[in-house]
Structure 1
Amino acid sequence: MTDLATAVEYGHVEPITVYFDDLDAMGIVHNARYAVLLERAVTPYWTERGHYFDHNGPSTPDLFHAVREFAITYHRPIRGAGEVHVHFWLNHLGETSAEYGFRFHSPDATVVYAEGRRAIVRLDPATMRPTPWTESARAVASTLLR
């Protein structure tokens, strides 16, 4: 974890790597890749806290969720491959849903590339209907609340 990650007032900052295949023909991160880059940031946070996928499947039922909404505003392009930091947090944790806020920025936090929000809904695998988060997920999620 970086010094910046420990300095935020809420949420978490995760350094991620932008790879060559994340770039478009102009050498900037393709707009559609931001959702994937956000996953690269959020996944290690939850994995380190016991919520992960492996060869046995999901470690908890909370990993069966779907993105309901993804909204992003682009401020400046991320040019080329390399390290970018993602600051993410939870704006809201409901009975069956959650809303993340996020910001992509330079490692020194002086440039904000993009920011937005992502809403997710936990689903029952049998019915595909919303179902409540477990206490384990609520405990981890509470560490991200703004």
Structure 2
Amino acid sequence: MTTAVEPGHIENVLIHFDDLDAMGVLHNGRYVLLLERALAAYWSERGWPFDPATPHFADIFFVVREFAITYHVPIAAVGPIGVHFWLDRVGTTSLVYGFRVLSADRSVIHAEGRRVQVKIDPATLRPAPIGADVRDACAVLLK
């Protein structure tokens, strides 16, 4: 018997009271932050913190080019949720993430979407090639 394994990683993120809107559901703008927090935690835990004091800072100088999301089921409570993310593509200068925001028990998909990031040179702010070390680190997330 085989079991399908989902590509990517699921990072647990907390929803706080101040993330909810006036109707008591997670504000639509907070989904961007949930993904950002999940990605930051994932990469930091693997030795890639977004810290200008680190020697590899220029290697991970990415900006968001595109963010698209589809909302399915509102989140109406505080507490933990799962952010499942993976890489659909690693290009010359860009990363294309897919993601899903899941209930804590992983049974409900609250939202899903994609995020495109472009590696830029910190001095010129122009697109720059993604280095081999970053490509190697990304390999485990590829779908």
TM-score by length of 2: 0.91
User: 1:43 corresponds to which residue?
Assistant: 40
Cα distance in 1 for partners of 2:123, 2:56 equals 17
**Are the aligned partners of 2:61 and 2:121 in contact in 1 as well (CA < 8 Å)?**
yes
- Structure 1 counterpart of 2:134, from 134, 137, 142: 137
Structure 2 unaligned spans of 5+: none
Q: Which residue of 2 aligns with 1:125?
A: 122
Q: Is the 8 A contact 2:102 2:108 kept in 1?
A: yes
Q: Identify if the C-alpha distance between structure 1 residues 123 and 54 changes in structure 2 by more than 3 Å, giving closer, same or farther.
A: closer
Query: 1 CA distance for matches of 2:140 and 2:126?
Result: 26
Corresponding residue number in structure 1 for 2:67: 70
Cα distance in 2, alignment partners of residues 116 and 89 from structure 1:
11
Once the two structures are TM-superposed, the CA of residue 57 in structure 1 deviates from its matched residue by: 5.6
Change (3 A) 1:16 1:58: farther
Q: Structure 1: which 4+ aligned runs deviate by more than 6 Å? A: none
* Aligned positions of 1:1-146 closer than 5 A: 8-54=5-51, 56=53, 59-146=56-143
Give % identity: 54
Give the direction of change, closer, same or farther, for the CA distance of 1:58–1:18 in structure 2 (3 Å limit): farther
Separation (CA, whole Å) in 2 of partners of 1:129 and 1:54: 20
CA RMSD of aligned residues (A): 1.6
Q: TM-score, normalised by structure 1?
A: 0.89
Contact 1:52–1:58 under 8 Å retained in 2: no
- Residue deviations 1:31-81, cap 9 Å, x none? 011111101111111112211034726743233111000000000001121
Q: Structure 1's 54 and 126: CA in aligned 2 closer, same or farther, altered over 3 A?
A: closer
Taking the aligned partners of 1:63 and 1:117, their CA distance within structure 2 comes to 19
Q: How many pairs were matched up?
A: 140
Structure 1 unmatched runs, 5+? 1-6
Structure 2: distance between partners of 1:9 and 1:29:
26
